[in-house]
A and B are shown apart, each in its own frame.
Chain A
């Protein structure tokens, strides 16, 4: 039974949220209570499937799932002449890590959302889109087929756009969703052009197949640029970040926490293309430096734009941009020395591990921060920092969770942000000291900006207009507590996490031949 479940887990991971999503409107007709139970049930099952699959992948190596084949691991049909023709899911350690992030965040956010979004109407469609978002994220990170990647990307962006516009809010939320969706549609179409180029050149859509035939011709270079630019825009790196603060600030807070995961799925796509599709065939130094420069720009511009913000969620959104910069920087340094084994061993792998560790850390603490911002909005009805103050007297637990998140994002020990930032600083210092100094300065500015937020929300005397404010409801606190617990645990036992989750992911990402061998067999 267990073996059967694990064998079909990649398909279940998509199937469960899809079935859940399309059944939600009908179940919502019966009663809202049953609908909530149904959505939680589906999300729990999805989370369990993801954890089960991940534990298997980390134990036994890459797992593939071929849709419609006689046997799920029969990638190349016997009569096809060596071409993997079916849609395939390739779950290696990196994909499994992203699935774990998506599942844990989705679960915590859903618990929070059941209570926080109760006041809205039309919740059937809200949870339908929410589950579609989960399906999109899971599909993007586990697929081994480029066109399939595009389809899940579009599912994800359509669902996200609908959810960003959800609280119309006098048109403001719709404006944010419009900007997000215009950009992401164009980006997705550009990705489709690149996929078409690969298909025309190599007659394949399978990532492993294209990777094994990769020549890095002129057309490949064009396709590489198209994909890098589009996915860097989707993950919100400067100077293509303009949609991020709008979308993050106007979406309901639960959705904002999921949008963070969604951007990281795009980041995953970027890394997958660069490392698995091209690997050493590309000019690692040039492309590595492109990613490093995008990362440094994101870090600096993100954090400096964050400091003068007055809307707390806009401020946090700019910090999300800035933290994405750290991931790009870490993995970019890993890419820049790819193919040079001594340098790779001395700091390249550590830099990649730092960047990837930061992905999971960021999803946890930034999700936590957005949820606390949502809890505050739930009680006082404003995001404007100028109108807040003295809430530490009445919302003690929210304040504690906020402190945990803020210290983690600023890289203060012993929280998880410190561990990953330390890895990035030290490895980047070995590569280029200036970059490490910039990264540290950005960290200090991050702390400064969160001191401002903390002071203006929680400190000061109890304000007369917030005399009757109460603590956030228990389900919201539970959702935050799940994320806060992970932030602390990852901070206290970083090496265990790195050994168990991050290092396999980094090695799986940089090991192109292993990926190809897992799909096509042999090496």
Chain B
């Protein structure tokens, strides 16, 4: 068992350790570049408070973007698909059994009749 071996995937290969090494080198370079920057950050000054054009700062619970507001565009674009698929999850146990039996019947037709 060779721990350092690359993963061969038939047509290609993948070595996580080489990837990790490259990431570490890149991180070191980024750090060196970042260190050359100007250090102007001062704690406890107006620098660290949010700037909202002089308006009063809203409460913390108002600032957080909640889960239901995320991916609105994606959901709206695929509305047709979701209107089709979400109601299929009816929550009625009879329907679930019917789906199962229906799939069985369908596979039966495919395998038994068409072979």
Chain B residue at minimal CB-CB distance from A429: B11
| Alpha-carbon distance A430/B11, docked complex (angstroms) | 9
CB pair A186 B64 closer than 8 Å: no
- Mask of B73-112 contacts with A, CB within 8 angstroms, 1/0: 0110010011001101101010111011001100110111
CB pair B59 A178 closer than 8 Å: no
Selected from B8, B19, B110, the residue in CB contact (under 8 A) with A495 is B8
CB pair A228 B100 closer than 8 Å: no
- Mask of A160-187 contacts with B, CB within 8 angstroms, 1/0: 0000000000000000001100110011
CB pair A413 B16 closer than 8 Å: yes
| Alpha-carbon distance A287/B1, docked complex (angstroms) | 35
CB pair A463 B99 closer than 8 Å: no
Q: Is residue B38 within 8 Å, beta carbon to beta carbon, of the partner chain? A: no
CB pair A463 B108 closer than 8 Å: no
| Alpha-carbon distance A448/B73, docked complex (angstroms) | 13
| Alpha-carbon distance A225/B108, docked complex (angstroms) | 6
Q: Is residue A419 within 8 Å, beta carbon to beta carbon, of the partner chain? A: yes
CB pair A304 B9 closer than 8 Å: no
> Given A187-B100, A346-B10, A426-B11, do A301 and B60 touch, yes or no (CB 8 Å)?
no
Hey, which chain B residues are within 8 Å of A308, CB to CB?
71, 75, 82, 86
- Mask of B1-40 contacts with A, CB within 8 angstroms, 1/0: 1110111111110101101100000000000000000000
Q: Which of A79-87, A251-259, A381-389 contacts B (4 or more CB under 8 A)?
A: A381-389
Q: Which of A202-221 contact B (CB under 8 A)?
A: 218, 221
Chain B residue at minimal CB-CB distance from A459: B64
Hey, which chain B residues are within 8 Å of A354, CB to CB?
9
CB pair A240 B112 closer than 8 Å: no
CB pair A307 B75 closer than 8 Å: yes
Chain A residue at minimal CB-CB distance from B9: A426
List the count of A-B residue pairs having beta carbons below 8 Å apart.
172
Q: Is residue B52 within 8 Å, beta carbon to beta carbon, of the partner chain? A: no
CB pair A386 B68 closer than 8 Å: yes
Chain B residue at minimal CB-CB distance from A228: B107
Hey, which chain B residues are within 8 Å of A453, CB to CB?
67
Q: Is residue A380 within 8 Å, beta carbon to beta carbon, of the partner chain? A: no
Report how many residues on chain B are interfacial, defined by Cβ distance under 8 Å. 52
Hey, which chain A residues are within 8 Å of B97, CB to CB?
182-183, 186
Q: Is residue A233 within 8 Å, beta carbon to beta carbon, of the partner chain? A: yes
Q: Is residue B51 within 8 Å, beta carbon to beta carbon, of the partner chain? A: no
**Given A350-B9, A389-B61, 18 other A-B residues pairs in contact with their CB atoms under 8 A:** A183-B93, A183-B96, A222-B112, A228-B107, A230-B104, A240-B96, A286-B111, A290-B110, A347-B11, A385-B66, A390-B60, A452-B71, A453-B67, A456-B65, A459-B64, A460-B63, A465-B61, A495-B5
B binding-site residues for A, Cβ under 8 Å: 1-3, 5-12, 14, 16-17, 19-20, 59-61, 63-68, 70-71, 74-75, 78, 81-82, 85-86, 88-89, 91, 93, 95-97, 99-100, 103-104, 107-108, 110-112, 114-115
A–B complex contacts, Cβ < 8 Å, 16 sampled = A186-B100, A225-B108, A229-B103, A240-B99, A242-B99, A290-B110, A307-B74, A308-B86, A346-B10, A413-B16, A419-B7, A422-B9, A422-B14, A455-B67, A493-B16, A494-B16
Instruction: Please list the 8 inter-chain residue pairs (A to B) with the smallest Cβ-Cβ separation, ordered nearest first.
Output: A385-B67, A460-B64, A456-B67, A229-B104, A495-B5, A414-B16, A389-B64, A426-B9
